[in-house]
Structure 1
Amino acid sequence: MDGSDISDVPTRNCDMIGRYVTLYQATDNRGTCGDFHCDGSTAMDFCEVLVMACTPNVKYGANCDMNCNQRKCASSSASCDVQTGNCGNGGCRPGYQGVDCTQACSSGDNYGPNCAKLCNQRHCVSSSSCNIQTGVCDAGGCTAGWIGVDCAQGMSQEYVGSSNAKDISFGVRPKMSTYPIVFYIMLPKID
């Protein structure tokens, strides 16, 4: 007998974080005791309670089947939410995205932290693969007027003065003003 023939066997799944489990039984037993004297009070004849929880900062997920150490959080000391695996405010390492930072960027489409940069917005000299972490232009560098590992940072036209960035011997600044302004010094090309 497994109790399936008893009509009032409650089953509760509680998907929440808590500190205590308290059971209440509010069934009125008045007149249901057969040949025994019933005073009308409630009674809990038997109870089986199974409380399951993930080990904090070790496992997460509905069935505690995901490992916290397999997430790609930006911070190695990021907390691990027991339900979602969320890394907190630090976000994901470059090349990864998602609430738990386990989803790699779509190869050829996105790159960088939280996959926020677009591969098709780089200015590579020739067709280049798109590394999901850095977006590096691995074949030939950047087109004229663009700098950076991913060739996504534009140079101000007033300083370019040449179709080949290697010929620039004057300070170069980014197109958009940022504080502090960063100047790059590039030496003349030596043949």
Structure 2
Amino acid sequence: MFIKMLSIIWTLMTFIVTRGYDDLSANKVARQYKTHIGCQSCVANNAVDRDIQTCARMEDIGTSAPNRSTWWYVDLGSTYNVVNIRIQFKDYKGYTMRQRGRFAGFSLYVSNTTNRHMGQLCYKDGPQLPPLDFHTNCITHGRYVIFYNERIPGTTYPIGYVESPVFTELCEVTVTGCSSSGVYGENCDKVCPDNCQERRCDIINGTCLNCKPGWLGEHCDKACPAGQFGPQCESKCVGHCKYSVGCNHTTGLCDNGCDDGWTGSNCNKECPLGNHGPDCVYKCSAKCLGDVACNRKTGKCDTGCDIGYTGELCETVLTGCEIGTFAKGCSNQCSGHCLNNGPCNSTTWHCDSGCAPGYKEPFCNNTDLESNALMKSCNEPSYIAGISVLVIICIALGSVCLFLMWKHYRLVKKMHSLQYISVIRTSTQDNNADDCQQYEELRISENGYHNIEFRH
């Protein structure tokens, strides 16, 4: 009596919860593991034909049976918001507890594939034996509702579980929810928030099951913080968006394009050499000094312009320089030796009309004759200053030489005088000693002395 009242209360509560929702499984395609060999008419679709007298029946399983597990599923035909699953098991009058023990331990899954492991577990039977008219709320969405049960040898099962043989007989499986996508409420008449992923929301309160990329919150009404984007705002912006603004919080792209010098879908790639500007759409002028590439951001030549070109981007040919000037800004002077005093070329620096007599092409800044170069240089102040210094040095050296020559002359004269006195003294002493006539000859040749002969 108590069990019957409990079943009635359970059915009433389920009706309150499920009233107004749509029957999603009626007459849909169903499949099962091995139809029972003794009841070939007990096919899987009997559980969704809405006739309680016809049931699906599968081969038995058990710890001592050949089969250890069994399954059954219904294909709802599309992905729906599910609110409740009801299963009406086969009830043999007088064998209610046995039947409950057979169905005990089963699981229910809602999945987008027939693989239960890829779906959501909605219900797992515990130690309490299930009622033969079973209901459970399962607030989720999916396409397949899967029933699964098993009996594994060596497992200790709760009291009341039938371990072998176990016959699974499903008379009706009713899956309720909203048949229209993007709605919720007991009458399926409320629209899910716009930013719910796949427009799926809780079928009862309307909170989003998941958010679209770029959104957060129960109702997915909060955009990602600046600098973040994507599912659950887990990705960070990495590009260089124009005006240094953040990327799109949904896609991660730069809505206004890339900043100067950057390109790529996320504006995270530098411009290749030779290109510049937003998204690298502009070509460099190729007239940068030193044959280098222009600045990727500005397009300017950081090294300056090639000879004969000017402008911020070095794309303007120099023209209109005054006679005798050339190069960037017409700041350099020509050699001044073009034929008939003509101007040099402002781009090449050459004298297009030829050189004046005595000068070499193309720049007309060198002469053919060395003497002409010398004459030209003599007129220069630096050369005159050099000559003046040289003259002073020569005068100084000459004075020193004359002084040394005078000193030498005085020394020679003094030595002459000393030699003469010495010879006279020697001759007188010899005459008094031996009273003989002697001759002495003194020869001075290389030292500048004269030959002197003395007689006694």
TM-score, normalization: structure 2?
0.25
| Alpha-carbon distance change, 128 to 41 in structure 1, aligned in 2, over 3 angstroms | same
Counterpart of 2:327 (choices 134, 152, 164) is 164
Of Structure 1 and Structure 2, which has the larger fraction of its residues in strand?
Answer: 2
Which sits farther off after the overlay, 57-66 or 93-102? 57-66
Point out the structure with max Rg over C-alpha: 2
**Which segments of 5 or more consecutive residues in structure 2 lack a partner in the other structure?**
1-70, 91-131, 134-170, 178-201, 203-207, 215-223, 332-456
Q: Which residue of the partner structure matches residue 235 of structure 2?
A: 66
Does structure 2 conserve the Cα–Cα contact (< 8 Å) formed by 1:123 and 1:146? no
Counterpart of 2:288 (choices 106, 110, 124) is 124
Give the distance between the partners of 1:118 and 1:65, measured in 2 at CA: 37
**Secondary structure at the counterpart of residue 175 of structure 2:** coil
User: Which AA in structure 2 matches 1:97?
Assistant: T
Task: Give, in angstroms, the shift of residue 63 of structure 1.
Answer: 7.4
Counterpart of 1:151 (choices 314, 330, 348) is 314
| Alpha-carbon distance change, 145 to 130 in structure 1, aligned in 2, over 3 angstroms | closer
Task: Give, in angstroms, the shift of residue 34 of structure 1.
Answer: 1.8
RMSD: 4.2
User: Which AA in structure 2 matches 1:130?
Assistant: C
Counterpart of 1:57 (choices 226, 230, 234) is 226
Give the distance between the partners of 1:60 and 1:6, measured in 2 at CA: 41
Give the distance between the partners of 1:28 and 1:84, measured in 2 at CA: 38
Does structure 2 conserve the Cα–Cα contact (< 8 Å) formed by 1:124 and 1:141? yes
Give the distance between the partners of 2:243 and 2:74, measured in 1 at CA: 49
Give the distance between the partners of 1:67 and 1:6, measured in 2 at CA: 44
Q: Which residue of the partner structure matches residue 19 of structure 1?
A: none
**Secondary structure at the counterpart of residue 166 of structure 1:** helix
| Alpha-carbon distance change, 96 to 164 in structure 1, aligned in 2, over 3 angstroms | same
Q: Which residue of the partner structure matches residue 81 of structure 1?
A: 248
Does structure 2 conserve the Cα–Cα contact (< 8 Å) formed by 1:84 and 1:100? no
User: Which AA in structure 2 matches 1:123?
Assistant: K
Answer yes or no: is 1:134 the counterpart of 2:189.
Answer: no
Does structure 1 conserve the Cα–Cα contact (< 8 Å) formed by 2:276 and 2:296? yes
Does structure 2 conserve the Cα–Cα contact (< 8 Å) formed by 1:144 and 1:164? yes
Identity, in percent, stands at 25
User: Which AA in structure 1 matches 2:262?
Assistant: Y
Give the distance between the partners of 2:72 and 2:261, measured in 1 at CA: 54
Answer yes or no: is 1:42 the counterpart of 2:175.
Answer: yes
Of Structure 1 and Structure 2, which has the larger fraction of its residues in helix?
Answer: 2
Task: Give, in angstroms, the shift of residue 60 of structure 1.
Answer: 2.0
**Secondary structure at the counterpart of residue 24 of structure 1:** strand
Task: Give, in angstroms, the shift of residue 145 of structure 1.
Answer: 4.0
Give the distance between the partners of 1:110 and 1:65, measured in 2 at CA: 33
TM-score, normalization: structure 1?
0.52
Q: Which residue of the partner structure matches residue 258 of structure 2?
A: 92
Does structure 1 conserve the Cα–Cα contact (< 8 Å) formed by 2:310 and 2:329? no
Q: Which residue of the partner structure matches residue 24 of structure 1?
A: 81
**Secondary structure at the counterpart of residue 99 of structure 1:** coil
| Alpha-carbon distance change, 137 to 79 in structure 1, aligned in 2, over 3 angstroms | closer
Which sits farther off after the overlay, 96-105 or 58-67? 58-67
Does structure 2 conserve the Cα–Cα contact (< 8 Å) formed by 1:84 and 1:99? no
| Alpha-carbon distance change, 111 to 63 in structure 1, aligned in 2, over 3 angstroms | farther
Give the distance between the partners of 2:226 and 2:289, measured in 1 at CA: 45
Residues 36-56 of structure 1: per-residue CA shift (max 9 Å, x gap) = 458875336xx9x85254424
Task: Give, in angstroms, the shift of residue 96 of structure 1.
Answer: 0.8
Residues 105-134 of structure 1: per-residue CA shift (max 9 Å, x gap) = 12x232222111223x33223212433222
Counterpart of 2:88 (choices 33, 41, 58) is 33
Residues 131-185 of structure 1: per-residue CA shift (max 9 Å, x gap) = 322233233424424411x323x35x7xx224524128xxxxxxxxxxxxxxxxx
Give the distance between the partners of 1:146 and 1:116, measured in 2 at CA: 22
Q: Which residue of the partner structure matches residue 110 of structure 1?
A: 275
